[in-house]
Each structure stands twice: as structure tokens, then as C-alpha cells.
Amino acid sequence: MDRRDFLKTTAAVGATALTGKKLFAKEPLKPEEFVGVLVDTTRCIGCRECEMACGEAHDLLVPDVQNDNALEQVRTTSDEQWMVINRFETDKGDVFVKKQCMHCMQPACAAACPTEAMKKTKEGPVIWRGDKCMGCRFCMVSCPFDIPKFEYDEWNPKIEKCTLCFDRLQDGERPACVEACPTDALIFGTRTKLIEDARKRIYNNPDDYVHHIYGEHEAGGTGYLYLSAVPFEQIGFRTDLGTTPYPEYTKEFLYSVPLVLFGLPALLFGFSHLTDKETDDSE
Amino acid sequence: MNNEVTVRDESKRFIKFIIQEMKPRGKWLTPFNIISIPIILLGLVILYFRFVYGLGSVTNLSQEFPWGFWIGFDVVTGVAFAGGAYVITFVVYIMRVDKYHSIVRVTVLNGLLAYMFYAGALVLDLGRPWHIINPIIGNSFGLSSVLFLVAWHFLIYMTAEFVEFSPVIAEWLNWKKTEKFVKSLTLGAVILGISLSTLHQSGLGALFLMAKPKIHPLWYSEFIPILFFVSSIYAGLSMIIFEGTISHRVFKDLIDPKSHHSFDDIMLGLGKGAAITMFVYYFFKALIFIHGQHWTLITDGWGLWYLTEVIGFVLIPGFMYAFGVRNRSLSIIRIAAILSLIGIMLNRLNTSIIAYNWNAVVHYIPSWQEFVVTLMVIFAEIWVFRWIVTRMPVFKSSH
């Protein structure tokens, strides 16, 4: 072993480690600029106009809300429907809850994506870009809300999920579901304003709401925020997700990568030098 | 003019040599061929449906179980089984323990092929495999993604393994100068390979860190990466024992009589290494269990399943290894190797499939097509392995 070997190893390892440099760059975190939607479940009447508007806006399934009896069971989003309304029977009567992508402030899906197909836009919506996606479905494994859905019966499958109508937002319009809501149960705005609004509602009507805004801290904070009259676990929400942003769970591992890639080769090189009988200096 | 003629003659001879080597040798109607050929053909038919009608046409994957047997077994378990290459190259080239020199070539070949076929099986599972080029050519680097890291490490590691193996190819082709050159790269490739292995063996575990709310708490831990790394050491060693035992019988005639002699010693040494790493692994598992205060979780069926894995397929084979080494009993070591491999398989499948979304109403069970394609991948690998070892000087120790 000589200096050449060492340089070769170092060069090869260095090249590998370079790909890890952006790990240290923080994602732009300006929550005050992100837009989102506040869902006031006390106002929702379960008319499912939003479901139809969503299907029309994105060329997806437009449900026949009069006849399909879909509220009889609790549904989840699918590759044909980016959002659904569910009905829950509670001690305060029927509660209707909208379910779709939560547009996390630090989304697990985007951190998981090896091709940056899943992307947190600077406006707030989390979008999927088909020209980049390779269909590994790691976003589905990582999403704590189980939102991204995959087209298993297509030769060229897409990941289907709510985009917060990113295209419409860029044209200055509001999301299709918000536009369609007849009771103002859905309110669109910047996240900061929505949180203020939600707090105001709780403060002004303390008996009508549980004193918690779902999404303010859950999974590190989400773009969608919910108000409810009954505890959130009674209306289909997971309350055990914690407040840590999900990308944090892999951060330590990713930070250790450049360290190992530089440190370990040096250590191994040293070991191999120590055990080499031919380079015994004591003679 | 004269030069041109020799070059042409040389290349003619080379092509002739390659064609000669491509021809099948030996008997055709062996039991292995009779079983493997129909399965490989059937697998190809299944893959046709998979690529024309989508993953759903042949797999039982669903929205709740996006990763199934192809990822959980082929990739996650397969790569752990292939850990032997980095462990043995560490022992031989870094620690310079000469005893294991005779198994370096075959172990590296096994590692290289395992990565090509099992990590390669990842491509079958990708919905849009033609976009696999995206994270490689750099127009969309998902730098915060563990999978991005693992994929890149697979690619670079395969290159390193190929460099480590290339002296054998050069020797086969009788390219003296090339052989000398590629041999000079070995130490560099080994050091790079070990570093990469450390990271992607643990990286396969890190894939599941964000699936925290979905994996049963007995299998989820923030230390999954460390557990995956430590267990890959004894997984690799057990695989060398398992595979070496079979090769030793099947390819008897190819093995240097010199290395026959030390075969028992090598197996005992590997068994000792496996025993030690298994106890370390068990200790980690126990620490996590106690610190996580998981006592209340072992009272139901999941707890029993967990204890089966950790005691039945880690602690017991660990003791069997220790006992086998002490009493120089190869048969006990072989049984321990098989039990350890089952334990690794259980652990990887538990993390990725079985204890994943453990409270789902409808749980994923692989379809028969998924099993056939997995068998196809394994058989195809054995075919290539057999082709190489019957032609290249793999069982000869290099010096």
C-alpha cells in the first residue's frame, strides 16, 4: 500500500460524500408565508360539494353524491379521489370531516423522495411531479397520514394526492373545494392568519370547540388546520403522531453519512497499514 | 501492417475464446435445471404482465402496503445476506488474517451477484423504472432521502465489488497487464466498499425511521440503523457458511486441494465471528427492549412472535454457534447458520411487512406471482454464479 492507494480511496470517497453536502442546507422555513386551509368541522353539513368540485377540477372521479351512500362507511382518499368527506357519529351529533393531504410544513413524503418528485413549494402546497417520480412508493411508506396513493393498475402509474390546487393558486384563484363550500366550513388563507382566526373562534365560543387546533403542531405543523366540537380521536384523527417534523427522524442518520464516509476510510487505511508486515518500520 | 494483422488475430482469438466459454458445459438434465428453468420462464411471463398491466395485476400490494415481498425479501433481506463480502474483505485486506484468503474471491463474487440481482430486483418494483435515471444523472437529487443515499451506495458499492473481483476476470482472459493494474486497486476498493456497506446496511434500516406510526413498537426503534448494521455482519457470515457448505459439495472438483485442508478451520472461525456479533446484537435488542419499557407489549400474539424471533432465531443460534465452535462440530454450526438466516429473514420481513401496519384490517400476504418472481431472481443468480465459477479461477486462492 502506498500513497497512491490512499489518494485513490480518498478521491473516490470524497466524490461520494459530495453528494451529501446539501444535507446541511436547511429547507426554507417561512411558515408565515405558507398558505393553507382551515376546516371548521362544526360548520360542515356533509353536502360533499367539495368532493364533486375536486373531481371536476382534477379530472378525477366525480361522485354521485345523491345516490352513492358513501357516507355510510368511513372512507379514505384513493387514486381516484384526492379528498373525501366522512361522517362520524358523536355525542354531539353527526360530525363531517374532510380528509385530504395535510400539506405538512416539513413533509415526510418530500424528505423521503429520492428524485424530488414530491416537493414542498414555497407557497405551501406539497405537489407531485410526474417527470421526476420513479414510482418507488417511499412517500407512501413515510407519510404519517397515509395520503399518497398509487395507481396499481397502470403500466405508467401516477402518485395521486391533493395538490391544494397549486395550478389554480398560481392563477390567483382559491382551491376548488374551498370555492365550492356553501357554508364557509373551508377557509383559505395564509397559515398565520388561519391560526389567528381559529384561535379567535375558540376564544369567542369556548363551549362550541375543543381547545385545540389540529395541525398547528401535529407532525411539526400542517397546512390544513382543523377545528372540532368533539375530541379529535373521535372523528378519525390520529392523535399519536407527535409534534416532531417527520424528516427529523432520519436527520441524525443522514448527518452521520459524510462523517462515516470520511472518517471510516481513514481509520481502515490506518488499520491496514498497522497490520501490513511489509511496512514494518522497526527493522 | 504487421501490427494490424496481429491485432486482428488477437481480437479474433478473443472472440473465439468468449464464444467457446459461453457454451454450456456438463449435463443439461440436472435436478436444479429441471426445477429452475420452468420457474425462470414463468417468472418472465409474470413480469410481462407486471410491465404491461401494472403492479396490481400480479402483486397483492395495496395503498396500505406499498412495499411487499419484492422489497422486504429481495432487497432488504437479500442485501443483509450479501453482507459477507464486506466482512471478509475487512478481515483479509485490513486485518490481514490470511486464513480466509481462499474464500475471498467466491465471497466477493457472491456479494457482487447478490447486489446485482437482489438490489436489482428493486427495478421490478418501481412503478416508473425509466425514471431511475433521474436520481443518477443529477437532474433531481433527493438529497434528504435515505432511499437516494441507499440507491447511490448500491451503485458505487457494486462498482467497488467489481473492481475487487476484476483480477479474477483478467486472470481468466489471461490479460496479465490488466490483472496487475486492477490488483493494485484492490485495497482502495475494499476500503471504499466497507465504508459504503456500513452506511447502506444501516441505511436499509433508516428507510423505516419515518414509518414510526406504522411499525409495531416492538420492532420500531430509533436504533434500527445500528441493529440492521450489526445483524448484517452475522447474516453475511452465516450466508458464507451456508453457501460455502453447498459450494464445497457441488463444486468439489474446482476447489484447490490446498484449501480443502483449511475448510473446517475457516468454517469454525466464521462461526466464532457470528457467535460474537449475535451476542452483541442480542444485547442491543435487550437494551432497547428494557429502555423502551416494552414489558407490557409481550403479552399478546405480537409479543410471542417477537420473542420467537429474538430468542428462537438469535439467542439460540448464537449459543449453538458458540457450542459448535467449542466442540469443533461443523454440523451444529451449519444448523446455527440456517437458524440465523431465518432469524434475519424474520427480522427484515417483520420490520418491512409483517409488523408494518400491524393493525390494518386487511393485511398484505404476497401473491404466488410475487414468490415465483423472487425464485426467478434467486435461480437466475445461481445460473450466473455457476457459469462464472466453472470458467473463472474463483475457487483458486490469489497470491
How do the domains of chain B map onto residue ranges?
28-389
Residue-averaged pLDDT of chain A: 89
Confidence of residue A158 (pLDDT cuts 50, 70, 90): very high
Using one digit for the tens of pLDDT, what is the confidence trace for A159-176?
999 999 999 999 999 999
Arithmetic mean of pLDDT, A200-218: 96
Topology at the third CATH level for domain A34-235: Alpha-Beta Plaits (3.30.70)
pLDDT for position A25: 47
3-state secondary structure (DSSP) of residue B185: coil
Among all residues of chain A, which has the CA nearest to that of B137?
Answer: A115
Beta bridge partners of A160: A149
- The residues in A 101-140 lying below 8 A from B, measured between CB atoms, are 108, 110-117, 130-138, 140
Arithmetic mean of pLDDT, A216-234: 96
Confidence of residue A95 (pLDDT cuts 50, 70, 90): very high
Q: Rounded to whole angstroms, how far apart are CA atoms B112 and B70? A: 19
C-alpha R_g of chain A: 25
* Strand order across the A224-227 sheet: A186-190, A35-40, A224-227
- Residue B311 has what DSSP assignment? I
Alpha-carbon distances of A275 from A43, A168, B95, B101, rounded to whole Å: 75, 66, 6, 15
Q: Rounded to whole angstroms, how far apart are CA atoms A216 and A227? A: 10
Our CA dihedral for B376, B380, B382, B384, rounded to 10 degrees, sits at: 180
3-state secondary structure (DSSP) of residue A173: coil
Residue appearing with cell numbers 404466488:
B368
Q: Rounded to whole angstroms, how far apart are CA atoms A243 and A220? A: 5
Is the predicted pLDDT of residue A12 greater than 70, yes or no?
A: no
Contacts of A136 in chain B (CB under 8 A): 122, 125-127, 147
Beta bridge partners of A190: A35
3-state secondary structure (DSSP) of residue A186: strand
CA-based nearest residue to A137, from B182, B167, B211: B211
pLDDT for position B138: 66
**pTM of the entire predicted model:** 0.90
Q: Rounded to whole angstroms, how far apart are CA atoms A48 and A63? A: 9
Is the predicted pLDDT of residue A180 greater than 60, yes or no?
A: yes
Classify residue B275 as exposed, middle or buried by CB count within 10 Å of its CB (0-12, 13-18, 19+). buried
Per-residue pLDDT of chain B (399 residues; tens, 9 = 90+): 566 667 788 788 888 888 888 777 777 788 888 999 999 999 999 999 999 999 999 999 999 999 999 999 999 999 999 999 999 999 999 999 988 988 999 999 999 999 999 888 889 999 999 998 888 876 678 788 999 999 899 999 999 999 999 999 999 998 889 999 999 999 999 999 999 999 999 999 999 999 999 999 999 999 999 999 999 999 999 999 999 999 888 888 787 766 655 888 999 999 999 999 999 999 999 999 999 888 889 889 999 999 999 999 999 999 999 999 999 999 999 999 999 999 999 999 999 999 999 989 899 999 999 999 999 999 999 999 999 998 899 887 554
CA-based nearest residue to A44, from A258, A272, A228, A244: A228
Arithmetic mean of pLDDT, A139-153: 96
Contacts of A149 in chain B (CB under 8 A): 63
Classify residue A241 as exposed, middle or buried by CB count within 10 Å of its CB (0-12, 13-18, 19+). middle
pLDDT for position A1: 45
Q: How many CA atoms lie within 13 A of A14 on its CB side?
A: 6
pLDDT for position A122: 93
Distance of CA B94 to the CA centre of its chain: 21
Is the predicted pLDDT of residue A17 greater than 60, yes or no?
A: no
Q: Rounded to whole angstroms, how far apart are CA atoms B115 and B205? A: 17
> Under an 8 A CB cutoff, do A136 and B195 touch?
no
Are A249 and B222 in contact by the 8 Å Cβ rule? The answer is yes
Confidence of residue A19 (pLDDT cuts 50, 70, 90): very low
Among all residues of chain B, which has the CA nearest to that of A269?
Answer: B191
pLDDT for position A8: 56
Q: Grid coordinates in use for B54? A: 401494472
Is the predicted pLDDT of residue A150 greater than 80, yes or no?
A: yes
| Domain spans in chain A, listed from the N-terminal domain onward | 3-25+248-279, 34-235
3-state secondary structure (DSSP) of residue B55: helix
**Prediction ipTM score:** 0.90
Residue appearing with cell numbers 446455527:
B336
Choose among A23, A134, A156: nearest Cβ to B134: A134
Confidence of residue A23 (pLDDT cuts 50, 70, 90): very low
Are B55 and A152 in contact by the 8 Å Cβ rule? The answer is yes
Q: Rounded to whole angstroms, how far apart are CA atoms A44 and A89? A: 14
- Phi and psi dihedrals of A120, rounded to 5? -85, 110
Helix (H) or strand (E) holding A95: strand A93-99
Are A260 and B195 in contact by the 8 Å Cβ rule? The answer is yes
Our CA dihedral for B72, B76, B82, B87, rounded to 10 degrees, sits at: -140
CA-based nearest residue to B356, from B256, B210, B248: B210
CATH superfamily of B28-389: Formate dehydrogenase/DMSO reductase domain (1.20.1630.10)
Q: Rounded to whole angstroms, how far apart are CA atoms A120 and B55? A: 28
- The residues in A 9-68 lying below 8 A from B, measured between CB atoms, are 9, 12-13, 16, 19-23, 27
Choose among B126, B128, B209: nearest Cβ to A250: B209
* pLDDT above 70 coverage of chain A, percent: 87
Q: Rounded to whole angstroms, how far apart are CA atoms B332 and B234? A: 16
